[in-house]
Structure 1
Amino acid sequence: MDGRWFDGLNQAQLSAVTFNEGPLLVIAGPGAGKTRLLAHKIVYLITELGVRPDQILAVTFTNKAAREIRNRVGLLLAHQTDAGSAADNSLPRLCTFHSWALGFLREEFGAAAARPVGEDEAFEVFEEAAAAARFSTAGLRGLFEEVMRAKEAYPPPIF
């Protein structure tokens, strides 16, 4: 293992980066190094375990975090002696949950996924879903309006 790109990790971070026995949940507060850890984990997967970058998806909550991880991964891979062959000159997909979901919807439904849906069209989809699930259509408009009210009220206000 090339320790140069492990420099700066504490023992807990290094353990998380090299953990390879199944899913891993990292719980840490602000400033604890989660972004650094994720960037190093991605580089570890590529350089040490031979995972192809196009088979890695890293999802964050903010565009800023996605950019930061992308930059760090690029720099870390550039410092590897065989970065060209290890990274296949590409980076994993690093994005927010929302941008990933929109991309998925566009792949599945084309340009229609990118446009807003009006209430009438939303109700039509609601009707189709109810019919497909063999629900009674009696009172469906009232149920739809109740769902819309609940959606607008969620999450409840915090005082």
Structure 2
Amino acid sequence: MTTTNEPAVIDDAAFQVTRTIRIAAPRERVWAALTEEDLIARWFPQRASLPDAHAGTEGTFTFDGYGDIPVRVDESEEPHVFAYTWGTPGEPLAPDNSTQVRFTLAADGDATVLTVVETGFERLADPSGAMRGNREGWTSELDKLVAFAEAGVAAGSPTS
């Protein structure tokens, strides 16, 4: 049975979206699901091109109906912190079209407590609309991550 978690929340004053979830899976498995392109594509975008999880690495996440979203890894401290900046489909990353997503992972016995904080919405053309959309997105997408990680798929597993 998949763990049930509270939905993402908006902090209007800080222009951020936050969600903390508990995943009944080891931190190493959750880390792999966040950082390995073949595993990212199993729960998040339909396709992920992210050659590695090192700071400075650039790639794309492709969501059907949205296109290729540029991604740049900003921070990577395995298996504790993974952060990236992502932007507008088809446009280079720029301060006025991107936000930063930061995942922190903490071991909780045999499980993992994962917190995602997305910041930078104040620089966007429609901060409130973007925060609402991403709140819904993180609620939905992280529920998929919980189901995926709790199913026991190991790093390096085939994607089909």
TM-score, normalised relative to structure 1: 0.28
Q: Which structure dedicates a bigger proportion of its chain to strand?
A: 2
Q: Which structure dedicates a bigger proportion of its chain to helix?
A: 1
Q: Which has the larger radius of gyration?
A: 1
Indicate the structure whose relative CO is greater, using CA pairs within 8 Å and at least 6 residues apart.
2
